[in-house]
Structure 1
């Protein structure tokens, strides 16, 4: 096997199973540099941090597979495309026919561990650099936020997972077998998420304290928002309520006046944005919009992940979020483009639409300059409401729900129930990769799936199967989730 210096190995993507040294390496820096060169060059730190962020742009992280397991599985969306186009395994995801060999689960698992590997290696080097302490701590906080975000995805998808927080030598078989290939409990995984986010909160600046050139980086509010959400999933109601309150009371965020603009270019990094994946024409999120673009004539995409009738029919009359979320065919779109009857499906995801005439566009559908919203202020208002309801603060819950309803063009709700909060969450967050997880964590999945003509198996479908190739590579050390082969 070829030998590479530690520097050349600097940005190898850590994956499970590990890639061999003969595989393509993602090396961000000059391969002729020595390790001491890097450690003595503070400018390297920002390159290392940016290399961690850039994983979010890759196809296997936030595109087809993530869309499939977070949205197509749910009652908010159908497979779409054409009846004969399975999308590799998206037909099985739509039918809740989960199998451990599915490409989507493999992609989601590997992409996040690759990101975690980048984070671990970047932290290893940055902690050794001679940097301004405030700047150094900020970069460490940013990277720990990203690592926590990816572990949050993993624990929601698979339950307890291996926790890798250090650089592992691929030739250290003992560490590989005892750390990389050993699942921790769900509780231990959340504990690691909380640990990373607590440190990030201490180290990160507020959104307003960043310069314009650093917009889009993780902030104190990003870490607080993700921690509030992680507490919510663990039913730590008081902690979730308090942490959401930190975000709200910071004065850093506010709802945009027009819900329809939240997912358009005009709304990027504005007051409602807590964390977005930053995309440009030359460095976009690979195929995120293309996967969901209208299919047919004219051809604007692959046509997957179409809003369901269940979602369409669920809105209250007059809810402005319906028309902002669902692209109805035929119609004239917000930018004046005509979406005719020659398109294959009657509905498409409007939030994923990238305008070729009113937004940055160079004709490359596979690499558009559309940011992906990961955490937004309305999500925090909903978290505050739900956690508040559970601790008996129904007044606060109702106030936050009505704040959201006002923006949606709806009248005040006279009172609040847990079910009404969940409904508002569905409408506010529709097609934003939360619905499946919300159904599972709130115990609504079996009933909601049955109403949508699907069978949710209690005791099995709360988590997805561990990818079979990972179990095989581990020699059986990784254990499979209940009910899967």
Structure 2
């Protein structure tokens, strides 16, 4: 390709007779030369670009742009937390993702792949630039760039399993077209360790620090079932870091709570009073199909299965084994003009900040009226519910509502890639699984999360009066053995992080994705009153534990990249 470009430029110069000998040395208009960037300002500019790639918008992405974002919302539609939403015929490629009809040319797989490698390239550009500057201390910037590269590769590892690792540490032997023989965990660990070694502990909004790097290295260990190593790091962050749970759960998902004590690492979205594209463009489809502000497009609808998981037994304990046996009452099949009484059984209050259901207040906009806010018809597979965590509060519309093309909403709500509750529950999981299990520590960390849910006042006041529903939640009294503790920790992750883009990856790493997702499809078929519902889905098999390597990437590599098994 290089030879063809040089030949074309030379031929053009000969034909026009207007090119000087040194035309290739002139910097492009509006671009900084390499020499101009070889200083602290240049490093900071490139580092900012590496951070900005997190939202998937500011890189040369390919495929489906909505899939490029860092909140991973669309992966929930593969799992049991969400439906694709909207009507079945809208965005058929995502319909195929949900129904397990996966093709290697699907643009949703390419979108995230290209966005993440755009982030890798941006992080590598920082590291490469630092290597060319002879003077100055750039250890902080090196730590941040290494962290970002580790983060982007962690995401690639989660999604695709076998990915090529591109490094710029050895500039004399740089080859971008690398093979993908297997996992890149060792390189991810090395990048996070470099970040730990070079970063300070100070908290700066939107930037990595040593505590954040330790948490992500602990998470990398967790995904590899290196339980002892994971516990050491995550327990340190849980007990010694400056982070803590917000008193109010809702503070993790609104403008007032951005960059608060629980927010460890977040994508920094902003609406700019609706005048820019700095909001969450990847989440632009995930608003009511109408609703209080006439939004679009009705995607990302929670499942009945997720709603059922928030039932409690009357004493405040979750129904770990039996939640799917009974349904929380819904208005599916009922028009807004028809009478409906919401569910009266005991519920975990986190349900009504995670899911919008009829008769319950919708982020301060008033009670959800039901069908008139749902774009999907009763013949579509998406059900009667709406998402809430990604949607701004009524009293923060001016601060949080951004606009994009075709009138789309680009919400300014930050997305927490990692919050402190995640550290607590990961530390609890490692405590259960490590060589010498510590169920006391695991119980403490899970109960910290449950007590916050019990005491939050967003949907109920402290006395429990005027509550929106029958909320009954209590901490665990004890963990009766390792197996029970394992089940409790895993269930708590679903309750705490529902509709936050984590569920599919948890199911995969636990090795239970096929069992859980196939059972969910069968149960949801009974809840969505459509005779052909179940026939629209494939069966989840082992091959679905990794997304396919996009065929575009394999073609461009000239066959150097190998496809994941089963595709």
TM class by shorter-chain length?
A: 0.7 to 0.9
Q: Aligned pair in 2 of structure 1 residues 116, 414: CA closer, same or farther (>3 Å)?
A: same
- In the TM superposition, what is the alpha-carbon distance from 1:30 to its structure 2 partner? 6.7
Aligned to 1:412: 475
How is 1:295-444 mapped onto 2 (pairs within 5 angstroms)? 295-298=289-292, 299-315=294-310, 316=312, 317-337=346-366, 339-341=368-370, 342-344=372-374, 346-355=384-393, 357-359=395-397, 360-361=399-400, 363-364=402-403, 365-391=408-434, 392-409=437-454, 410-416=473-479, 417-444=485-512
Q: Aligned pair in 2 of structure 1 residues 313, 65: CA closer, same or farther (>3 Å)?
A: farther
- In the TM superposition, what is the alpha-carbon distance from 1:456 to its structure 2 partner? 4.7
**Aligned Cα root-mean-square deviation (Å):** 2.6
Residues 285, 367 of structure 1: 8 Å contact kept? yes
Q: Aligned pair in 2 of structure 1 residues 355, 168: CA closer, same or farther (>3 Å)?
A: farther
> How far apart, CA to CA, are the structure 2 residues paired with 1:355 and 1:408?
19
Q: Aligned pair in 2 of structure 1 residues 310, 295: CA closer, same or farther (>3 Å)?
A: same
- In the TM superposition, what is the alpha-carbon distance from 1:312 to its structure 2 partner? 0.3
Residues 269, 414 of structure 2: 8 Å contact kept? yes
Aligned to 1:129: 133
> How far apart, CA to CA, are the structure 1 residues paired with 2:232 and 2:191?
18
- In the TM superposition, what is the alpha-carbon distance from 1:83 to its structure 2 partner? 2.5
How is 1:13-162 mapped onto 2 (pairs within 5 angstroms)? 31=30, 33-39=32-38, 41-59=39-57, 63-64=66-67, 67=72, 69-85=74-90, 87-129=91-133, 132-133=136-137, 136-162=138-164
Q: Which runs of 5+ in 1 are unaligned?
A: 4-27
- Deviations 1:449-473 (Å, cap 9, x if unpaired)? 1222165544311111111111112
- In the TM superposition, what is the alpha-carbon distance from 1:92 to its structure 2 partner? 1.0
Q: Which runs of 5+ in 2 are unaligned?
A: 7-26, 313-345, 377-383, 455-472, 480-484, 522-536
Of 359-368 and 298-307, more deviation after overlay is shown by 359-368
> How far apart, CA to CA, are the structure 2 residues paired with 1:303 and 1:207?
40
- In the TM superposition, what is the alpha-carbon distance from 1:181 to its structure 2 partner? 3.7
Aligned to 1:165: 167
> How far apart, CA to CA, are the structure 2 residues paired with 1:268 and 1:407?
18
> How far apart, CA to CA, are the structure 2 residues paired with 1:130 and 1:295?
56
- Select the structure of larger CA radius of gyration: 2
Residues 386, 421 of structure 1: 8 Å contact kept? yes
- In the TM superposition, what is the alpha-carbon distance from 1:250 to its structure 2 partner? 2.4
> How far apart, CA to CA, are the structure 2 residues paired with 1:168 and 1:292?
43
Instruction: Provide the aligned length of Structure 1 versus Structure 2.
Output: 444
> How far apart, CA to CA, are the structure 2 residues paired with 1:377 and 1:310?
26
Aligned to 2:316: none
> How far apart, CA to CA, are the structure 2 residues paired with 1:414 and 1:311?
24
Query: Which TM-score applies when normalising by structure 2?
Result: 0.73
Residues 391, 411 of structure 2: 8 Å contact kept? no
Q: Aligned pair in 2 of structure 1 residues 264, 450: CA closer, same or farther (>3 Å)?
A: same
Q: Aligned pair in 2 of structure 1 residues 216, 384: CA closer, same or farther (>3 Å)?
A: same
Query: Which TM-score applies when normalising by structure 1?
Result: 0.85
